[in-house]
Structure 1
Amino acid sequence: MVEKVDRISGLPPFVIHHIMSYLSSKEVGQISTLSKGWNQLRISFPIFDFDQTDFLTEDESDQITSMFEERRLALRERLKEFMEYIDASLLRFCELEFCMRKFRLFISILDVEESAPYIDKWIGLATEKEVKVFDLEFLTDSDTPYTLPQSIFYAKSVTVLNIVRCKLENVSDIVRFNYLRKLSLDKVFINEEMVQKLSGESPLLEEMFLSECWGFKRLCVSKALKLKIMSIGSDELESVEVVAPNLQELVLEFSEEIMPRVIDVFECTQLKKLKFMGIGLTDLEFHHFISSFPLLEDLIFAYCYALERITISSNQLKKIRVSSCVNMKALNLDTPNLLSFTYEYSPIPTSCINALCPWQVKCLSKLMFDIHWCLKLREFLGVSNQIETLRIYARPTVSSFKLEECRKSFTSRPCYVETLEFYTNMPPSEYRMLLDGLLWICYPRTLFLQSYSCRAQYKLFESFYKELKNRDVSCCNSHDIKCWRHYLKDIKVVGFMGLKDGKLIDADSLMKWLSTDNLSDLWSILPFGVVRFQLDWCFPESTMKA
C-alpha cells in the first residue's frame, strides 16, 4: 500500500500564501479547519477580503434596506457578529511581523455614528501594516455617508485605492500616496481641491476612474505626468480640463441634457483610445475634436444626439464604434487601415466608407419594416463585402414589404452576411413578409432566430423553418433576378441555446436530448431560447455584388 504524502503542507509559507491568493474568502476560511498548522497559515495570510454577502444569508442581505424594524434588529445582530469577526482577524494579524497586501471591505452601515469608530480602526490598522491595495465599499440607507478617516491619507505604501459610496475629505494638506498607481472613486462625495491633490500629488498615478461622484462642479487634472488611463462619468460637472501628456485612454460619459459646458482635453496629444457618450457636439465640433488626436487608434462615440453628418479621415484608426446617435444621416469614413467597424442602434445613414475591415451592424426597425427601410439597409451593407454580423430587432410595426416592388430597385443580388441575428415579436401573420424582407437585404450563412415571447417562439421557429425548407421556386420564373428561394440550396438546424442556462446544444445532441427525429415536433418542446440555422447558397461568391 502506497503511503499518501501531504506535499502542499511542506511548502514554504510564502508559496502557500500565493496559492491561497487564488481562493475565495470562504475557501480560505475553510482551510483553517484542516489542522493547527493550516489555521496559522490563514492567520498570517496577508490578503483580507471581508464581504458581508459571504457572512449573511441571501435573505438577510436583502433586508439591509428593509423598513421593518424587527428585520433590521435581526440583521443588526448578524452585522455585529461580522464586525467582531473582522476585528478579531485584524488584531491577530497585527501581532505578526507581516505586511498586508490587500484589505477589501464590503459592509452595510445601519448606524454611521455607531459603526464609524470600528471602520476607522480597521483602516488605520491596515495603513500601519503598509497595505498595498485598499478596496472599500459601503452601503447605507442614511442620508449621511460614512467619512473615511484621515489615516487613509497616510497609506504611503498603497498602490491601488478603490472607494465606493462614502465621503472623502482631507482636513490637512498632507497626501502621501507616493506609490499610488490606480485610483477609482465611485459615488464618492469629494471636493474639487481634493481631486486635484489626489491626481497631482500621486507621482506614480497611471489610472484614474471617477464615476458618479458629487461635491464638485469643476474637474481639473493638470499634474498627472504619468497618467495613462482616465475615465470620467458624471451628471454634475460644469467643466472638465485634463492636461496629461502621456494619457493614452480617455472615457467621457455624460448625460447630454446636463453635460459640461467646457471640455478641454486637447493637450492629451498621445491619446490612442477615446470613448465619449452624451456629448452634444455638432458636426463641425466633432471634426475639430477628433482631429486633435493624431495618434488615435480606437474611437467609440454614443448618444451624441447633435451629430448628423460626420466625416472621419485617418490612417491611424484601427477601430470605430458608433452607437445610439439617433439623428445620424450621413457617415463618411476614409480609414484604410481600419480593423473593426461597428454601427449600432442608429438610423441607417447614407455612406461613403473606405475601410476593408469586417463590419458589425445592429439595427432596430422601430416604426416601419417596409421597402424604404430595407432598401436603405441593403444600400448601406452593399458598401462593404465583409459583413461579419448583422443583427436586426423587429418590433411590432407597420409592415408593408412587397418583394415585387423591390425588384425595380436593384438589378443585382444581395451581399453575403456571415451571421444574421433576427429578434422579433411581430405577429405570425407577418412572418412570410419578414423572411422575404430579410433575405432580400442579405444572404446569411448562419441565421440566429429568437422571439421576444416564449409563447410565440414555437410559431416563429416552425414558420421560418417550413418556409426555408419547402421552397416554391415557381414564384418568379419570368424575372432575371430571382428571389432567395431560387438560390438557397439547403438549410440545417445546427444548434440551440437556452436563454436560462446559456448552454449551446448542437443539432445531434439536441435530437438525442429530445428523443425525436421529427423537427416539426421539436419546436413545440424547446425551452425559451435561440435557434441556429445554417444556410447553403447555390451560386459562387464571385457572382455576388461586391
Structure 2
Amino acid sequence: MDRISQLPEPIVHHILSLSGSRELVRMSVASKTWFQLTASFPSLDFRMDELTKGLHVDFTIYNFTKGLHVSRQTFFKYVDYTTSRMCQQNVTAHKLTIVTNIREPAELDTVNRCLELLLKKGVTKLEINLSEFAQIFLRKTPSFAPKPKPMPTYVLPNILLSVSVLESLIISGCELPSSFMVDALKFKSLIRLQLEYVHIDDEMINYLTTSCPLLKEFSLSSCHGFKRFCVNGHQNLELLDIDCDSQVEMIDIETPNLLGLKVRDTAGRGPPGMKVALCKNLTSVTYIGYPLPNSNDFADFLSKFSCAESLVLFINKKYRCNTLKLSSHSLRKLVIDSEFDLEEIELSTPNLGLFIYSNPLSFWVKAMHLPHLEACMRCHTDGSLDTLWLQKLRLFLDKKNGFKALNLYIHTKRVCFFDQIVHKFIVLGKLKVNELAPYELEHIELHFKHEESSNYAAFVDAVLLCFRPQSLTLRFPLIDFKDQSDLAKFTYEKLLEQENQEHTNIEIVLPSSSKAQKLFRGSVLYDVLPCEEKAISFTKEKGTLFYELIL
C-alpha cells in the first residue's frame, strides 16, 4: 500500500478510472489508504445496475420486494455518502454519472441533493438518466413483482444553467430547469449535448443552440414537443442526430461546418421536410425509418444531400416503395440495410468506392470501417440463401455499377437451394445463371461466419459458377487441417476450370512477400487475423495460379 500512496495523483486516478463502480466500492473499504485515494477520485459513476449486481439477493416470490428494496436503499445511501464525503474534502467532480429510476420521494431528494452540491463546484461531464428505461435490472423483474407507483418527472435544478465549465451534458427522462427560458444560459464551454425523453419545443431548441457557441454534437432522441428543428448560423456544429415523431414537420439547418446528420423516423410516416442546401460540408448522412410510399418523393428526399460522400439507409419494409433510385456523383460510401431486393435498387453513382448491402439485419456495422479494395461491394446475408439470390447479385453487378471486388459475409448455415430449405449447402453442379457467362471481377472474398466446414465447398462452387475472379480469398473459423486442405484443393480445381488451360504451374505466395502485399493492398486479408480465424488466398496471373495459406 505504501507504493501506491507514493504514486502521483494523476497516475492513481488513471488506475481508478479503469475500474467499475463495484470495484471502487470494494477498494474504498480495503484500507484507509484506499479510502483516501477513492475519496479524491474526481469521477463519480452512480449506475444502479452496476452496483446492484454485487448484491447476492435471492429474488424469489417470497422475498423479491424486500430484496429489491434493500438493493435500492443501499444504492441511494451510497450516492448520498459518497457525495457528502467528496464535498467534505473539497474535491471537484470532473465527471458525474447518475443512471437509475425513481420510486420514492426520498430517492428523488437524494439525487437532487447530489446534483446541487456537486454542480456548485463545477462539473465537466454530466450524465443524468432517470428514465424508466435507465434500470435494466428492473425491466427483468418477474410478473409477480408489484408494479411501482408512478413518480412525477424530475425537474433539474436551476443551478445547472450556470455551470460554465460543462463540456458534455447527457439528460434522459428529466425536465429542463424551470428557469431555462428566463435565466441566462452559461454553457459557453459545452461541446456535446444529448437529450433523451425530454420535452423541448422549437423556441427551446433555438435558445439552446444560440447559447452554446462551441457546441459540436447535438442529439435529440425520443424527445417530444417540437415541430420544426431549426439551427441557423451556428459556426461549430458538426454532428446532428434527430428523432422525428409524428409532430415533426421540418428540419431546417444552415450551419456551414456541419459534417454529419442522422435522422430517425420513429412515427412510420417517412422523413420530414428537409432544408440543408447551405450545409456545404455535409458529407455523412444516415436515415433510419420508412421510405415514403411514393418512390419519387423518397428520391427527392435523397437528392437533398447532393454533397454527401457517405450515405447509410436503414429502411423498414412498411410502406416500402417499389424501387430505390439513387443518383449522386459525390457519393463514395453507401450502406443499404433493408428488405429491398437487389433488382429493386437502381444506382447511378460513378464514384462509389464501397457499397454495403445487408438484407435484412445490420451485420455490416462492425465491418463498415474495415479497409477495402477500390470499387468494392460487400453483402451481409442472413436467413436462407438460394440460387435466385446469386442470380440477382450477378445481374445487379452487370448494371454497369463498376464494382471490381466482392465481399460475401455468410452468417448462417441455413441455406435454400432449389426452393428447398436445408441445413447445409448442396452441390450445384449444373447451375446456370440465365445462360450468362460468369461476371469478371478483380477480387472476391468469402467470409464464412459458421463452423460447418462441409458447407464451404458447395458455396464456393455456386459462387464460381456466377463469377470469374482474378483472385479469391476464403476466410473461415478454425477447422480441421484435412478439411482445410480439401477446401483448398477443391477451390483450386474450380478456378482452373474457369481458365480452360491444360498446363498450369502452382507457386506459394508468402503473406509477408512484397508480391502478396501488392496484390491485396487495401483488403482486410493482411490485417491481423483473429486467433480463431484462418484465410486461404488464390491469385491468377498470366496463366499461372498462385495460392497462399495463412495459418
TM-score (norm 2): 0.71
1:345 paired to 2:338? no
> For residue 269 of structure 1, what is the amino acid of its counterpart?
K
1:134 paired to 2:149? no
Distance 1:409 1:123, change over 3 A: same
Percent of matched pairs sharing the same residue: 23
Q: 2-side partners of 1:216 and 1:48: how far apart?
A: 33
Give unpaired runs (5+ residues) of structure 1. 347-354, 451-456, 495-502, 507-530
Tell me how far 1:155 sits from its aligned partner: 2.9
1:438 paired to 2:463? yes
Tell me how far 1:374 sits from its aligned partner: 2.6
Q: 1-side partners of 2:112 and 2:254: how far apart?
A: 34
Q: Would you say the 8 A contact 2:354–2:378 is kept in 1?
A: no
> 2:239 corresponds to which residue?
229
1:399 paired to 2:407? no
Q: 1:243 aligns with which of 253, 277, 296?
A: 253
> 1:165 corresponds to which residue?
173
Q: Which deviations, in whole Å up to 9, do the C-alpha atoms of 1:223-282 show, x marking residues without a partner? A: 644221110124444323232412211101114723454333333332121111225255
Distance 1:311 1:12, change over 3 A: closer
Q: 1:154 aligns with which of 152, 162, 166?
A: 162
Q: 2-side partners of 1:142 and 1:264: how far apart?
A: 44
The correspondence of residues 421-500 of structure 1 with structure 2, limited to 5 A, is: 421-422=447-448, 436-442=461-467, 445-448=472-475
> 1:374 corresponds to which residue?
390
Distance 1:208 1:385, change over 3 A: closer
Q: Which deviations, in whole Å up to 9, do the C-alpha atoms of 1:159-197 show, x marking residues without a partner? A: 111122334453552233232211112233444444443
Q: Would you say the 8 A contact 1:357–1:386 is kept in 2?
A: yes
> 1:534 corresponds to which residue?
536
1:125 paired to 2:117? yes
The correspondence of residues 92-111 of structure 1 with structure 2, limited to 5 A, is: 92-111=85-104
Q: 1-side partners of 2:241 and 2:537: how far apart?
A: 43
Q: Would you say the 8 A contact 1:169–1:190 is kept in 2?
A: no
Q: Would you say the 8 A contact 2:411–2:449 is kept in 1?
A: yes
1:214 paired to 2:232? no
Please state whether the residue corresponding to 1:99 is helix, strand or coil: coil
Please state whether the residue corresponding to 2:110 is helix, strand or coil: helix
Please state whether the residue corresponding to 2:174 is helix, strand or coil: strand
> For residue 302 of structure 1, what is the amino acid of its counterpart?
F
Distance 1:256 1:331, change over 3 A: farther
> For residue 321 of structure 1, what is the amino acid of its counterpart?
V
> For residue 118 of structure 1, what is the amino acid of its counterpart?
T
Q: 1-side partners of 2:416 and 2:240: how far apart?
A: 42
> For residue 262 of structure 2, what is the amino acid of its counterpart?
V
Q: 1-side partners of 2:110 and 2:405: how far apart?
A: 58
Q: 2-side partners of 1:84 and 1:155: how far apart?
A: 26
> 2:284 corresponds to which residue?
273
Q: 1-side partners of 2:500 and 2:430: how far apart?
A: 10
Tell me how far 1:204 sits from its aligned partner: 2.2
Q: 1:298 aligns with which of 297, 305, 310?
A: 310
Q: Would you say the 8 A contact 1:323–1:344 is kept in 2?
A: yes
Q: 2-side partners of 1:116 and 1:212: how far apart?
A: 23
Distance 1:171 1:399, change over 3 A: same
Please state whether the residue corresponding to 1:243 is helix, strand or coil: strand
Distance 1:69 1:131, change over 3 A: farther
Tell me how far 1:330 sits from its aligned partner: 4.1
Distance 1:445 1:6, change over 3 A: farther
> 1:500 corresponds to which residue?
none
Q: 2-side partners of 1:432 and 1:36: how far apart?
A: 64
Q: 1-side partners of 2:208 and 2:57: how far apart?
A: 34
Distance 1:290 1:487, change over 3 A: farther
Q: Would you say the 8 A contact 2:187–2:212 is kept in 1?
A: yes
Q: How many residues align?
A: 482
Q: 2-side partners of 1:114 and 1:311: how far apart?
A: 56
Tell me how far 1:541 sits from its aligned partner: 7.7
Tell me how far 1:307 sits from its aligned partner: 6.7
Cα-Cα RMSD:
4.7
> 2:191 corresponds to which residue?
181
Q: Would you say the 8 A contact 1:190–1:213 is kept in 2?
A: yes
Q: 2-side partners of 1:472 and 1:334: how far apart?
A: 35
Tell me how far 1:207 sits from its aligned partner: 0.8
Distance 1:538 1:72, change over 3 A: same
Distance 1:485 1:216, change over 3 A: farther
Please state whether the residue corresponding to 1:310 is helix, strand or coil: strand
> For residue 340 of structure 2, what is the amino acid of its counterpart?
V
Compare 464-473 and 239-248 and name the one that shifted more.
464-473
Q: Would you say the 8 A contact 2:246–2:267 is kept in 1?
A: no
TM-score (norm 1): 0.71
> For residue 76 of structure 1, what is the amino acid of its counterpart?
H
> 1:420 corresponds to which residue?
446
Q: Would you say the 8 A contact 2:42–2:94 is kept in 1?
A: yes
> 1:454 corresponds to which residue?
none
Distance 1:119 1:236, change over 3 A: farther
Please state whether the residue corresponding to 1:188 is helix, strand or coil: coil
Q: 2-side partners of 1:263 and 1:97: how far apart?
A: 49
Distance 1:25 1:393, change over 3 A: closer
Q: 1-side partners of 2:198 and 2:96: how far apart?
A: 19
Q: Would you say the 8 A contact 1:158–1:180 is kept in 2?
A: yes
Please state whether the residue corresponding to 1:110 is helix, strand or coil: coil
> 2:42 corresponds to which residue?
46
Q: 1-side partners of 2:56 and 2:248: how far apart?
A: 41
